[in-house]
Structure 1
């Protein structure tokens, strides 16, 4: 059964659109719209997977952000302090003059981990966030 298609408008920076177009061409999509639909489906699946994180979890959150954005470094640190009981360690490196990478290693309640991850994602100037979780060793 075919669903009705809705038209939307999206504003993107040139470099992001050029990268996207290159990827969809390389993957053989028939149109940009099909690539966008596939990307949205993937995003929804990832979100639904993240929404189901419950119980004790261990893992990492990797973030890349522009430390030159006013207040961003402090906001990242403040969020980490809010979840200090979950965070076991973190590593911070400078990728270039403007960008930093942090890997946050955690052990704790999945719903709190998801909450921390979503707060980091919502910060303006954060360019990349990747959550990786696993059950604790005794459950594997």
Structure 2
């Protein structure tokens, strides 16, 4: 098997090693392989492939991180058309920041947006949901 090297923070590496040990993996390579496979599967064709979707995307990152906040602003400008709502909130006692987006777009474009937010910085944690628009308005799918 070819060897691929990857850069990551020391904390992420330590967390990865702890996770591997606690969950019975042979080492970090096995965890990384499984994580990569899961990510690639997530972006493969689904039943939403040719549909418009509504996606909520939540990004959590450290408080007072001007570079990440600047990147979020760049993302807002880059994807201005599909963004229906956006908010930035600081957690209690400056424990971190939460950036929330609601977008309406073709499924492929929604995945591109999610990937862009994930790529903003390695310390950004991203969660999302995707719902086909016709689920919300069944009459729309009949047209």
TM-score normalised to structure 2 length:
0.71
1:86 maps to which residue?
82
1:127 maps to which residue?
124
Distance in 1 (CA, whole Å) between partners of 2:75 and 2:98 is 15
1:73 aligns with 2:69: yes
* 3-state DSSP of counterpart to 1:28: coil
* Alpha-carbon contact 1:88-1:106 (below 8 Å) kept: yes
* Alpha-carbon contact 2:63-2:90 (below 8 Å) kept: no
Consecutive unaligned residues in structure 1, runs of 5 or more:
none
- Return the offset for 1:120: 2.4
Residues 34 and 112 from structure 1, CA distance in 2 versus in 1: closer, same or farther, beyond 3 angstroms?
Answer: closer
2:137 maps to which residue?
138
Distance in 1 (CA, whole Å) between partners of 2:103 and 2:89 is 18
1:107-126 paired onto structure 2 within 5 Å: 107-124=104-121
1:21 aligns with 2:17: yes
Distance in 2 (CA, whole Å) between partners of 1:112 and 1:89 is 16
